[in-house]
Amino acid sequence: MIQIGAAHSLGLPMSLKILSTCLKTLRAAGWLCVGLLVWLSWIPADLEIRTGMAGQIEHAIAYCGTGAILAFAYQEPRRWRIAAGLVMLAGVLEVGQLWVPGRTSQPIDFAASSVGAVMGVLMGRAAISTLIGWAMRPSRGGIG
């Protein structure tokens, strides 16, 4: 690997500094998504803006995106922890809707959120594996 320069704050090659910055940005984006899940789950019904899709599709997409970003950003070998955390969050948020004016708590919404979270974590895992495999190929200038 050609070193472009040293990262002054970390003493790492520039490419590692860029990677570190990207991972930090993805982690921040993942936690922003978690915050949005909480916000959007617990706002009163009269403040909701819907996409026009079925609510379960919205749940699955939101949790899938969050799971994919978190799984990509955190190189945790046991990514099931990320999925389990999102499933637990979905359960807490769904039950919490019982106390939000105009909102309802439905098991089907919890199921859609949970399926989305698991799918997202699997997609994030597949994306990072693909990226690492691509970067490691000799023809791409990777190691080896």
pLDDT, tens digit, for every residue of 96-112?
999 999 999 999 999 99
What is the average per-residue pLDDT within 13-40?
89
Tokens of 125: 């895992």
* pLDDT tops 50 at residue 4: no
Task: Supply the DSSP symbol for 55.
Answer: H
CA angle 88, 94, 95 (to 5 degrees): 95
* pLDDT tops 80 at residue 144: no
Place of tokens 């320069």: 5
* pLDDT tops 70 at residue 143: no
Rounded Cα distance, 5 and 2, in Å? 9
Residue pair 105/97 in contact (Cβ under 8 Å)? The answer is yes
Q: Is 35 exposed, middle or buried (0-12, 13-18, 19+ CB in 10 A)?
A: exposed
Residue pair 103/44 in contact (Cβ under 8 Å)? The answer is yes
* pLDDT tops 80 at residue 35: yes
Task: Supply the DSSP symbol for 92.
Answer: H
Lowest mean pLDDT among 14-18, 45-49, 95-99: 14-18
Where does the pLDDT of residue 6 fall: very low under 50, low under 70, confident under 90, or very high at 90 and above?
very low
Lowest mean pLDDT among 6-10, 27-31, 36-40, 88-92: 6-10
